[in-house]
Amino acid sequence: MGAWELLLVGVVMLLGLCGVLVPGVPGSWLVWAAVLWWTLYDPNGLAWGILVGATVVLLAAQAVRWQLPPRRLRESGATPRMAVFAGAGALLGFCVVPVLGAIPGFIGGIYAGERLRLGRHGEAAAATRTALRMGGGSVLTELFACLLIAGAWFGALLWG
């Protein structure tokens, strides 16, 4: 697979990661479709292993999401700005502390956005807890699964 095709797969994967944060966009399935595209274009054992792993991770994430409360983020006062902060925090955390850093990064991103919006620690902490209770855990689960898949794909490109 050439550099341009890999770049397109990466762009689709990035759109999927952003789509996780937008209600109504099938972000996780875009990430899975990017891995499928890569696998079918360059079929080898590692690519098929990544595809199978991505499928298992996404199905497990869906099972976990079904156990969590439904998304009601709009009712909690969540804004698109909060989603940007949460996504950026998760991505930064994922890169700084590989894999597990996405969780505190996501929560820290929500807190940072709310702290900028509300100005006080107590109010920002309360808004962060509310956002996590009203569906933030569901978003975090899906985003974490997609970050795992994107990280595995990127690792396979570098070391595979």
Q: How many CA atoms lie within 13 A of 14 on its CB side?
A: 7
Q: Which residue has the tokens 């940007």?
A: 84
| First vs last C-alpha separation in the chain | 13
Per-residue pLDDT for the chain (160 aa), expressed as one digit of tens each? Answer: 788 999 999 999 999 999 988 878 889 999 999 999 999 998 899 999 999 999 999 999 999 988 877 766 666 677 888 889 999 999 999 999 988 999 999 999 999 999 999 889 999 999 899 888 887 888 889 999 999 999 999 999 998 7
pLDDT, position 76 = 65
Residue 72's pLDDT is what? 66
pTM as predicted:
0.86
CA distance 81 to 115: 12
Predicted pLDDT of residue 75? 67
Per-residue pLDDT at 25 = 84
**What is the reported pLDDT for 93?**
93
AA identity, residue 103? I
User: Using CA of residue 131, residue 132, residue 133, residue 136, what is the dihedral sign?
Assistant: positive
